[in-house]
Chains A and B, each alone.
Chain A
Amino acid sequence: MGQSSMVLFGLILLFYLVFYGFLAALFTFTMWVMLQTLNDEVPKYRDQISSPGLTVFPKPVTALEYSFSVSEPESYKGYIEDLKKFLTPYASEAQKNLKVCANGVLSEQKGPVYEACQFPLNLLEACSGENDPDFGYSQGHPCILVKMNRIIGLKPQGQPRIECTGNSKGENTTTLAAYPPEGNIDLKYFPYYGKKLHASYLQPLVAVQLNYTASSTPKEVTVECKIVGSKNLKNYDDRDKFLGRVAFKITMRA
């Protein structure tokens, strides 16, 4: 009795082994077939990201809120490190093999080798970190970098630029400086050809620097940036609060 039930159990075990083995092989095969339909360089469809989102650096920890005290370097150390890390690929050493492209025109390429255009750090002027390693945080003029999300094949029309406005509480007025001037994004950085073909690609950046005029503390500013000047880059969507725009808050204590 015990033996026959063992045999039966073995038989059933064997069956499931074979059955699931077959299913696993089949699934692997169909997945393989599916992967064959893919292109290594470009995804098959790009309809779901037709327009880029905007993101900011330093990378916000939770919500889009920066909070630091000018007098305490520890409170903004993280931000500075994050910015430095982010800007490493932009160091002139790292860029020296990149092409210097003509301004104002799309750099469409046919391959097989796709070249990336230089984005000299000095375009960011005061926020480049070259002259001020504290990116203005120690002086109470913090820099925030704004960038457009990479989308393969995106060709902006017109002259895209990032426009930021600051709103602060009470009577404080804030002026925002943008680098490159007027937050321009040069067309020469488009289109992007994908991670594989365009490995050395550098995204164009825009830096925003806050300049407070009033001196009351703490200073709280809400900044809203959006892409303007290009027809095919949306800057408003009901549901997607980061499509072509970004809003963040900076709280600065003395």
Chain B
Amino acid sequence: MGQKTPRIYSVELNGAKDMKQTDKGDGKDKYRGLQDNCLELGKNQRKEHLTKEIDLDDHKLSNKELETKYHTNIVTGLSSTQAAELLARDGPNALSPPKETPEIIKFLKQMVGGFSILLWAGAILCWIAYGIQYSNDKSSSLDNVYLGTVLALVVILTGIFAYYQEAKSTNIMASFSKMIPQQALVIRDSEKKIIPAEQLVVGDIVEIKGGDQIPADIRLLFAQGCKVDNSSLTGESEPQSRSCEFTHDDPLETKNIGFYSTTCLEGTATGMVINTGDRTIIGQIASLASGVGNEKTPIAIEIQHFVHIVAGVAISIGVLFFIIAVSMKYRVLDSIIFLIGIIVANVPEGLLATVTVTLSLTAKRMAKKNCLVKNLEAVETLGSTSIICSDKTGTLTQNRMTVAHLWFDNQIFMADTSEDQLKQTFDQSSGTWASLSKIIALCNRAEFRPGQERVPIMKRVVVGDASETALLKFSEVVLGDVMEIRKRNHKVAEIPFNSTNKFQLSIHKTDDPIDKRFLMVMKGAPEKVLEKCSTIMVNGQEQPLNNSTAEAFYTAYMELGGLGERVLGFCHLYLPADEFPETYSFDVDAMNFPMSDFCFVGLLSMIDPPRSTVPDAITKCRSAGIKVIMVTGDHPITAKAIAKSVGIISANSETVEDIAKRLNIAVEQVNKQDAKAAVVTGTELKDMSEDQLDEVLTSYPEIVFARTSPQQKLIIVEGCQRQDAVVAVTGDGVNDSPALKKADIGIAMGIAGSDAAKNAADMVLLDDNFASIVTGVEEGRLIFDNLKKTIAYTLTKNIAELCPFLIYIIVGVPLPLGTITILFIDLGTDIVPSIALAYEKAESDIMNRKPRHKKKDRLVNEPLVVYSYLHIGIMQSLGAFLVYFTVYAQEGFRPSTLINLRVEWEKDSVNNLEDSYGQEWTRYQRKYLEWTGYTAFFIGIMVQQIADLIIRKTRRNSIFQQGLFRNKVIWVGIASQIIIALILSYGLGSITALNFTMLRPQYWFVAVPHAILIWVYDEMRKLFIRLYPGSWWDKNMYY
């Protein structure tokens, strides 16, 4: 954790090392191999430098050089034999599936985890004790064998249960396999062939067209209008055009590389395969994700801590009393049996199963709220989260372009960008708007796919690119049926958008029957559009374009651009009817129409807008003390704009750059402490040392990381974890998957998310709604609080189960509570109530407090153990002993007679043991009375556990503030306790092996005063905590 050398994740391109290591053996070896692999990776990571993160230079090579490098021919392709050789060498072009822990190991882990070791020890001691007994006396009773078997069964059954729960909640997701394109069109032996993409090898020449998934990493040799969607790789939501020119040193930025598993949206291209399978960029990221070790979840750490405490208490008391027993001249065999009893009494056998059930109940509840939890323990992690590193595209934003602002009549108007906009509310009365809306509707090639009349506009499928789609939907909302408008204004000619012109133009007949002029409409890059204009429309009137109006235009343009929005300019021109009669034939190649003196109408800007629920969710995270950091592959300006609009950078905070700009001074002169926010780009991050990153993370409350690579996302997550933070990462792209894996909890988007992201994540938001995270945080915090209650409830009776043994050893009374009976409490009456506590509502607004500190706010802390063991536990023991003594006294053995009676009592040969009244008892009659004593003690504990259950509903508030009946499940729990006890005593009381007898009804009420006392005492405790916050009482009694 705390090494000083920078830890950098980098991947070697020809990373055959990883491959070799995974091939080693299977089963246990595989498991070990995985660890070795991680270690190996760690070492490499430290050595390599980040700048070499992707070592690829094929984009710089010329076609000739490529041909030599890969021994291929661009025209004829590889020969089949060559391809077969390469395939044999490199393996199939597929990602190796994530390594999985073998099921048997998962199962065995359940068998030895937690308290299991202790119980196994107990079981083995039982068998050893029987062995000793048997060697002394062949006819010795099988009690110890039964007990050992029961203990072993308890371990196995709870293990199977936990395994089943675990297995049910994991493996929900399919693996990477879905991402693999099925077929590829390849040139081999000068022939075009369709082969399964898995058989592609480096050097193959492949052809792709719009709609195809790119079958491997390819270097483009020829491209026509080719656009790809790289959003899953880089986080950019805009389609990227691809060509065969080398445009950037960074292979991720250059235009002549197409990446495996990204989609070709339109156009066609031919490319040479340069990487296949795990060696592709995606493959490297995927292996990066699987190389990242899974950290223990916070709740797992807490449970381990708790197990250590309980096991420590059990073992130390056990050993202590073993020594005491031996020195009191008990036989070693008896002392061993005492030791078993103490262990069984101390270990809450049912608790871990209860915790699993509780977690899975919460997981179910969260699934209903669209948070699918893959790893049960992750349920709580979200509650402990102190930093959320969120991806932008698709997570914070809707991942679709939407019209955000308009500028006309020298005014900026805001458009509604919510997910389900029904109408636009800005002022639409101006004549300028009439013209502008017409241009927007007409100068657009996008169309709705037919047959969607009933679908809400925003959800309709559109054929066309992102911007045009946005404009189409916008005008459909504002104007109504756009298709109809286009029909009425028949299009006679058009020039589609291309990157050289940077404008789009079309010529229409108008729907005005009197006006026979053609209308020419144009949209494009604002400065290009403005060049072609000589007038500007203000309030529906054309005015000459002068310097001041141009100034106004530039101001608006800069302002909208500064918001990170893509700005388009719109202009039109009515062609004079005399020059262009109705029959005029327009020729777009000859351009037989004017291209100047247009009338500028307005600007319109688009952005991938934030989801409407996000700002509110981020405010809630803030008030819950959670820091939200944006980490995106997108441009800093867009990132910052979105960060501002969702509140990641709050309205009144500034970055160093903002301050510099405001004060008009150099960035270096700004006092860094004045800045609350920071925007850090990937390039800056590259040059930062670990300490510098730590400084950034600690000194700015509001941070945006832009232009980051997948590796850098990992570094950021690690940086946050160095601050002892519990880090949640949200993301949807393949590029997020390593960070998702590294995070304490990875949250993937269910709809927009790639399979890689879902695979690496611990949680999937089925509705892609960031607000669901807030729900998750709330549930996580609640479950943490409620687990405290469950554990406190369960630990309490441990003392009441332990004391009988201690009194039995020291005072020598007949055993008050049998080992089997203890198991019936731990695994019988106490199970439903402890689960019921999971349904308890929060005591106060848990979303207004800070996240718990990973190392300070423990699940099981000292006050909890002390209060449960030494306060309520002792009271409970006294109550149970009262029932025990009552039963014995009323049957003839007064308490004074019982003392030191143990030896005579347990002698099989004594069949005339005298009680306090002179009556004589046979051994079996005494045994039966002893079982009645067990039952009485059991009922005593059960009755007081009801009170314990009620007091555990709250930790600070009075039960009456919380409401006694609000949590109905508690009452189900109480009913289950009573019913199980009734069945055990009256139903199964005749089965002697269970050591229960029928108990007189009145004994059920003997412990009731003690139960009431427990309640009153706890109410007093809570009252003092509320009255004197911060006092020593509060510190020692609040758990």
Which residues of A come within 8 Å of B, CB atoms?
8, 11-12, 16, 19-20, 23, 26-27, 30-31, 34-35, 37-38, 41-46, 48-49, 52-55, 60-64, 147, 149-152, 192, 194-196, 198, 201, 237, 239-243, 246
Contacts and interface: CB of A to CB of B under 8 A. Distances in A.
A79 B1010 CA distance: 51
B918 A152 contact: yes
Interface stretch (B228-236, B609-617, B889-897): B889-897
A150 B925 contact: no
B1009 interface: yes
Given A23-B878, A27-B878, A64-B909, A34 B920 contact: no
B886 interface: yes
B882 A8 contact: no
Given A149-B919, A149-B922, A150-B920, A35 B889 contact: yes
Contact of A46 (B871, B892, B914): B892
Contacts of B921: 49, 53, 149
Interface string B893-928: 011000000000000010110111111111111001
Contact of A240 (B890, B925, B1000): B925
Contact of A35 (B894, B919, B929, B1036): B894
23 contacts: A8-B1032, A34-B882, A34-B1006, A35-B895, A43-B892, A43-B915, A43-B917, A49-B925, A53-B920, A55-B911, A62-B909, A64-B909, A151-B919, A151-B920, A152-B917, A194-B918, A196-B918, A201-B918, A240-B922, A240-B924, A241-B924, A242-B924, A243-B922
Interface in B731-762: none
B439 to A, nearest CB: 78
Given A48-B925, A237-B924, A242-B923, A31 B918 contact: no
Interface in B320-367: none
Interface of B: 870-871, 874-875, 878, 881-882, 885-886, 889-892, 894-895, 909, 911-912, 914-925, 928-929, 932, 992, 1000, 1006, 1009-1010, 1013, 1032, 1036
Query: 4 tightest A-B contacts by CB?
Result: A195-B918, A53-B922, A149-B920, A240-B924
A54 B1006 CA distance: 35
Residue of A20, A55, A237 with highest tally of chain B CB at under 10 A = A55
A12 B925 contact: no
Contacts of B890: 37-38, 43-45
A34 B917 contact: no
Given A34-B1006, A45-B891, A63-B909, 9 more contacts: A34-B889, A38-B889, A41-B917, A42-B917, A43-B917, A48-B928, A149-B922, A194-B917, A242-B923
A34 B919 contact: no
A12 B1031 CA distance: 12
Does more than half of chain B's interface fall in helix, strand or loop, or is it mixed? helix
Contacts of A20: 874
Nearest to A199: B918
Contacts, number: 119
Contacts of A34: 882, 885-886, 889, 1006
Given A34-B889, A38-B889, A149-B920, A60 B1032 contact: no
Contacts of A19: 871
A41 B870 CA distance: 39
Nearest to A149: B920
A48 B892 CA distance: 10
B1019 to A, nearest CB: 16
A12 B871 CA distance: 13
B1013 A149 contact: no
A196 B875 CA distance: 35
Contact of A150 (B878, B894, B918, B923): B918
B822 to A, nearest CB: 22
Nearest to A35: B889
Contact of A49 (B875, B919, B1032): B919
Contacts of A240: 922-925
A8 B1032 CA distance: 8
B920 A55 contact: yes
A136 to B, nearest CB: 23
Contacts of B909: 60-64
A240 B928 CA distance: 10
B894 A38 contact: yes
Contact of A242 (B895, B911, B932, B1009): B911
A83 to B, nearest CB: 15
Nearest to B1007: A30
B918 A149 contact: no
Contacts of B992: 239
A31 to B, nearest CB: 6
Contacts of B895: 31, 35
A12 B862 CA distance: 14
A237 B924 CA distance: 10
Contacts of B924: 237, 239-243
A149 B917 CA distance: 13
A179 B151 CA distance: 53
Contacts of B932: 48
Contacts of B874: 20, 23
A196 B917 contact: yes
Query: Most chain-B Cβ atoms within 10 A of its Cβ — which of A19, A27, A44, A64?
Result: A27
A241 B922 CA distance: 9
B1017 to A, nearest CB: 9
A197 B922 CA distance: 23
Contacts of B1010: 30
Nearest to A49: B925
Contacts of A27: 878, 881-882
A91 to B, nearest CB: 20
Contacts of A147: 912
Contact of B891 (A16, A48, A198): A48
A42 to B, nearest CB: 7
A98 B918 CA distance: 19
Contacts of A152: 917-919
Contacts of B892: 43, 46, 49
A20 B874 CA distance: 9
Nearest to B998: A47
